[in-house]
Amino acid sequence: MQEIVDTLVSAIKDKKAQDRELLSKFIDAVANRSIPNEQAITWLKAVHENSISPEDTAFLTQKMMHSGSVLEWPDYQNIVVDKHSTGGVGDKMSLILAPLLACCGLKVPMLAGRGLGHTGGTIDKLESLTGFRTDLTPEEMAASLETVGCCISAQSSEIAPADSLLYALRDISHTIDSIPLITASIISKKAAEGLDCLVLDVKCGDAAFMKNQDDAKALASSMQKVAQLLGIDCIAQITDMSNPIGDYIGNSLEVIESILVMKCEQENTDCRDIVYLQALDLLKLSGLYSDDQTILSKMDKEMKSGNVIRKFREMCVNQGVEGSYIDNVISNPDVLLGDDYLEIKATNSGYVESIDAMELAKIARKHKAGRFVFGEEINQFTGYILHKNEGSKVESDEALLTMYYDYKPTSEEVSIIQNSFRLIETQPQKTDSRLIARIGSKQMSN
């Protein structure tokens, strides 16, 4: 194996194509864990430092996809869909999107992850619901699509096993920020779901992995092209991730806001607007609907009729949640609130120009809303309920947010939270949409 790695690394450094047979053997060895970690890290560092061609990236992604089980859906045509987000502060879209899409006629076998970083992942959020099973087998996912139309499960060891090792090694070898490696990691797992259509939400901004638009566009373009090469109709959306999404940040807190959105009881439309943006593209890609207005009317109808929240309940019960328990949560979402909280107030008056989402997330992570290492325990209750948003008028000593904490925040942490709300004297103009750009073969007007 050392000779294979040396040959592959030499080609990467010389900006030449990697030998397909050797790269296949390398990925097979990664998948069955027969390669020493240090040899795999050598290859990762070579890719990180020198990059690889789009063709090599596509081949790598395909090999990683086929390193384990690939789900098949012979009974459905053009309607098996999913989305992937590169992560953000308050990003709870999957919890709303899956039942909404199912109500609109699509099939959603959503594979999601636990968080590593400043916030929890979709799986962490759903596990705030007592009994919610996230370890569905491929057979159980198939049954869920047939009966419910959607499911949200964690990636199993059967799906893209080559990725699980390479992802862990990327973390310890500081090779996370490589566009070819990110592309192969994300798209191999999505392709293994047997998707027809995919929407990618590539976050851009101070609280995103990609800080500027050029980097976000490069990643979005890479993932979209590789997805298309693997037969998935794909649109990439680049969205702003400077301010927090919605009013609720944290695992159980984001479940609360998701329920409020699905019940049409959330005044802040930020979350709903992003969900609609993602659903709109997926419904158009599927071919079920042709024009935006028809789709928007359909989504509004499903939301306002209560069908979406009922579909969410159905998904929860199907995945192990007791019916009486989820009924209680839906009727009174505040049962998911923690006991320890603190109102944090403004020290002066003004209008909120922006909110530093990353600073809020860093403190929440220290209080166990997120992880510093894989497998670390989290506190499902830690997080914030924002009382002020971009453009809000703030009076001195008025509450900016309520913080639910693992341990009482220090005076320094309180000060950081207060200063994360940037106040100015005149009311700023609020942006209408977080959408910055779309990238895809079927370009759609913004």
Check if the beta carbon of residue 382 is closer than 8 Å to that of residue 364: yes
Kindly list the strands in the beta sheet with 393-394, ordered across the sheet, starting from the edge strand earlier in the chain: 393-394, 350-355, 421-424
- Which one of 24, 156, 164, 185 is the catalytic residue? 185
Cα–Cα dist 91/420, whole Å: 19
Cα–Cα dist 312/310, whole Å: 5
Cα–Cα dist 243/246, whole Å: 9
272 is catalytic: no
CB burial readout 326-360, b (16+ within 10 A) else e: beebbeebeebebeeeeebbbeeebbbbbbbbbbb
Which helix (H) or strand (E) segment holds residue 421: the answer is strand 421-424
- Which one of 56, 82, 163, 356 is the catalytic residue? 163
Cα–Cα dist 162/158, whole Å: 10
β-pair type (233-240, 383-386): unpaired
Which helix (H) or strand (E) segment holds residue 334: the answer is none
Cα–Cα dist 161/145, whole Å: 23
- Which one of 45, 48, 92, 189 is the catalytic residue? 189
393 is catalytic: no
Half-sphere exposure of 362 (CA within 13 A, CB side): 13
- Which one of 170, 272, 313, 371 is the catalytic residue? 170
Cα–Cα dist 285/198, whole Å: 8
Beta strands in 260-408 (DSSP E): 341-345, 350-355, 383-386, 393-394, 399-404
Largest distance between two CA atoms of the chain: 67
163 is catalytic: yes
Check if the beta carbon of residue 107 is closer than 8 Å to that of residue 73: yes
CA proximity to 45, closest of 207, 178, 204: 178
Q: State the burial class of residue 269 (Cβ atoms within 10 Å of its Cβ: 0-12, 13-18, 19+).
A: exposed
β-pair type (150-154, 108-112): parallel
- Which one of 84, 114, 367, 438 is the catalytic residue? 84
133 is catalytic: no
CA proximity to 321, closest of 147, 128, 138: 128
Cα–Cα dist 130/46, whole Å: 44
Cα–Cα dist 429/305, whole Å: 33
170 is catalytic: yes
3-class state of residue 386 by DSSP:
strand
Catalytically active residues, by annotation: 84, 163, 170, 185, 189
